[in-house]
Structure 1
Amino acid sequence: MDDSTNSSATPAATSDGVGVGDEPLEPDAVVDFESAGVGDEETLARLRAVSFYLDEAFEIPGTNYRVGLDPILGLVPGIGDATASALSAYILVEAAMLGVPRATLARMLGNVVLDATVGSLPLVGDVFDAAWKANARNVRLLETRYDDASPAAAAADRRFLLAAVAAIALLLVALGAATVLVALWVLGQVGLL
């Protein structure tokens, strides 16, 4: 054992983050993915694989239609839909790290939210998951918008976002109107109107 090293104590750091007699402290959690050998093509291949397993891993016997783990996981109450949604969100995060335009990311997020919302309904949601295939849609969007800064692609994304915002606004207005009508009906049944 060498007595010249002091492994039980670390040098005290001064207020400027520099240890006494040491180099400036630098974060050790910084990872440069490009120099680590993780390229965009590898990321795209990984996302295609995740999408395949979630949406198209199994062929329904006697048909040419394929389903994945997403609708199957949805059959497990509680954790199934949450797990599938987390994997869908992983595709979205990787797309953001690849530099996909924000409008496309918003469109992809809309697909994930719709899939998670409708997919959480018992049985009906599982059929929707099998038909909607949000992950396959998102990977196709990622592939078409990756390195595509054309005005036509941006305009298509803006049109989609505008339609989505309009649909959500109409849904909220309809929900508000339905709530008022139900409240009036209940008050009428109770005899307060």
Structure 2
Amino acid sequence: MAISPNQFDQMVRDMPGFGRDPASVRRRVEAMEAMLEGLFVIPGTQRRVGLDSLIGLVPVVGDLATAAMGAWMVWEARNLGMSKWQLTRMAANVGFDTLVGAIPFAGDLFDFFYKSNSKNLRIIRRHLDRHHPSTVTIDA
């Protein structure tokens, strides 16, 4: 049985977390940030690392992959109607992280400390809290 494009769009909108509403966008962006910046805890420390630090160890390809994931967060912010100034700041965070992260060895250490996706998530949360207060979640 074939599904029409309208039926597919309706199914996607009804699935939790896949809609275009601000609450769904918030959940997706928070999940991406958690995956990129805080997936694992380094044993013996409280320091969290994610795929940004791990994939960034692969020269060139890893940095481009994590830059694409960071750019996706900026794209989601654009779809929320965030200002050009906020989008520029977010893009600059991703660009700076990518450029410095591409430097062998020093860039990998930099990725460990500079968390551009966490900075961008703070910008998105501030926007959502101000313009879409129904999306606010309580962090435990």
SS in structure 1 at match of 2:79: helix
More relative contact order in 1 or in 2 (CA 8 Å, sep 6+)?
A: 2
With normalisation by structure 1, the TM-score equals: 0.57
Q: Deviations over 1:153-181 (max 9, x none)?
A: xxxxxxxxxxxxxxxxxxxxxxxxxxxxx
- Match of residue 26, structure 2, among 29, 44, 47: 44
> Is this contact kept in 2: 1:74–1:80, CA < 8 A?
yes
SS in structure 2 at match of 1:77: coil
Matches within 5 A, 1:38-187: 38=19, 39-146=21-128, 148=130
Partner of 2:137: none
Q: Identity percentage over the alignment?
A: 37
- Divergent runs of 4+, >6 A: none
Q: What CA RMSD, in Å, does the superposition of the two structures yield over aligned residues? A: 2.1
Shift of 1:127: 1.3
What is the rounded CA distance, in whole Å, between the counterparts of 1:108 and 1:86 in structure 2? 13
Q: Deviations over 1:80-114 (max 9, x none)?
A: 11100000000000000011111111111110111
Paired amino acid for 2:52: D
Q: Which runs of 5 or more structure 2 residues have no equivalent in the other structure?
A: 132-140
What is the rounded CA distance, in whole Å, between the counterparts of 1:102 and 1:146 in structure 2? 15
Shift of 1:147: 6.0
Shift of 1:66: 0.5
> Is this contact kept in 2: 1:100–1:147, CA < 8 A?
no
Shift of 1:139: 0.7
> Is this contact kept in 1: 2:35–2:51, CA < 8 A?
yes
Q: Which runs of 5 or more structure 1 residues have no equivalent in the other structure?
A: 1-27, 150-193
Paired amino acid for 1:139: L
What is the rounded CA distance, in whole Å, between the counterparts of 2:99 and 2:40 in structure 1? 23
With normalisation by structure 2, the TM-score equals: 0.78
What is the rounded CA distance, in whole Å, between the counterparts of 1:141 and 1:44 in structure 2? 12
> Is this contact kept in 1: 2:22–2:128, CA < 8 A?
no
Q: Deviations over 1:42-79 (max 9, x none)?
A: 11111111111111111011000101111111111221
What is the rounded CA distance, in whole Å, between the counterparts of 2:76 and 2:124 in structure 1? 10
Structure whose residues are more often helix by fraction: 2
SS in structure 1 at match of 2:13: coil
Q: Whose Rg is larger? A: 1
